[in-house]
Copies of this chain bind each other. A is one copy, B any other.
Amino acid sequence: MNIAIFGTGSVGRTLAEKLVTQGHSVTVGTRNPAETLARTDTDMMGNGPFAPWHAANSSVQLDTFANAAAASEVILLATNGLGTLPSIEAAGIENIGSKIIIDISNPLDFSKGMPPTLFVSNDDSLGEQVQRAVPNARVVKSLNTLWGGLMVAPELLADGNHSVFVSGNDTDAKATVSSYLTNWFGWKPSSIVDLGDITTARGTEMYLPLWLRLFGATGSGLLNIHVVR
């Protein structure tokens, strides 16, 4: 399957590594590929430069957002939250069409110190903003409540018995994304919680401040919540 991943940080790299091992054709999208490859600094999230990672994972393609979107059947948004809408705009509505977008990004604002606050919350969400930006696309918010390493390997914790959420307006798209979660990453169907339409992304994005405190209390991203009912 042809899969685009927007975002060159640790989440995008983790997703790309997992998907290429399964034989998928993965294109990482970025604003300017030459610039991405030329960078030598470690970013604010502690990610080393992209080029050495890319050299070690040469089956992953790197291209512009527009080319990555055009070449792919599904788009995974693994951008820094501030980069999410610009990446969609750069990709172009014509290259996205009615494709499924799995929005993994969070509206984290690091400008006011740690832990970050949210730059959209309460009466809107980043997931809804993405859906409004590309009305024909089928946006499913998912995986944004998890550390990247756990997104692609839920079995690392409690034998995989913990929860991942899907929010979206299109029921078929949510079913498709749920099958990707299971087939790509190993999520048990019983662990996938359908919250409802895309406005329910407010719920999972606003969970991030609790996740950040749980992370702060243990110093490890190997944590999650299991919905019990």
Residues in chain A within 8 A of chain B (CB atoms): 112, 117-118, 121-123, 157-158, 161-163, 193-196, 200, 202-204, 206-214, 216-218, 220, 222-229
User: Which one of B162, B195, B223 lies within 8 Å of A217 (CB-CB)?
Assistant: B195
Contact A193 B206 (CB under 8 A): no
Please determine whether A228 and B226 come into contact, CB atoms closer than 8 angstroms: yes
B229, A223: Cβ atoms under 8 Å? yes
Q: Which residue of B lies closest to A162 (CB)?
A: B228
With contacts A112-B123, A226-B228 known, what are 18 further pairs, Cβ within 8 A?
A117-B122, A118-B121, A121-B206, A122-B209, A194-B217, A200-B216, A203-B210, A203-B213, A206-B207, A206-B208, A207-B207, A207-B210, A218-B229, A222-B229, A223-B229, A224-B227, A224-B228, A225-B227
The smallest beta-carbon distance between A91 and chain B, in angstroms, is 29
B158 touching A228, Cβ below 8 Å: yes
Give the complex CA separation of A157 and B227 in angstroms: 11
